[in-house]
């Protein structure tokens, strides 16, 4: 890797991966299809400091990507950008 990303964009409109569907079924404590129904609302904000595709990268690669991002976090953070967008009065 060449270093942490300054900003990683969201993948809006992408359906949950097969791995999310498999994990949901394996847990057995969630209704079938919950991951698919929640994906849009959960990711609609589209602001991330780092994103890992756990369907394409192994756990070590994801951990390293997160570690690198923590060492040099983007400024402003995703939470700050969201707060500015949705709470312009600085609440």
33-66 residue pLDDT tens: 888 888 888 888 888 899 888 778 889 998 999 9
90 pLDDT band, cuts 50/70/90, is low
Instruction: Report angle CA 60, 13, 39 to the nearest 5 degrees.
Output: 65
Find out whether 55 and 90 touch, Cβ atoms under 8 Å.
no
75 pLDDT band, cuts 50/70/90, is very high
pTM to 2 decimals? 0.60
Contacts of 69 (CB under 8 A, 6+ apart): 4, 5, 49, 50
- pLDDT at residue 77 in the model: 92
């Amino acid at each position: 890797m060449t270093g942490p990303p300054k900003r990683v964009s969201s993948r809006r409109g992408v359906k949950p991966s097969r791995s999310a569907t498999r994990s949901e079924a394996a847990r057995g404590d969630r209704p079938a299809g919950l991951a698919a129904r929640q994906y849009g609302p959960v990711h609609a904000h589209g602001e991330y400091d780092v994103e890992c595709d756990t369907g394409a990268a192994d756990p070590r690669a994801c951990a390293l990507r997160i570690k690198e991002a923590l060492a040099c976090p983007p400024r402003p953070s995703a939470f700050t950008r969201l707060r500015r967008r949705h709470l312009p009065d600085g609440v």
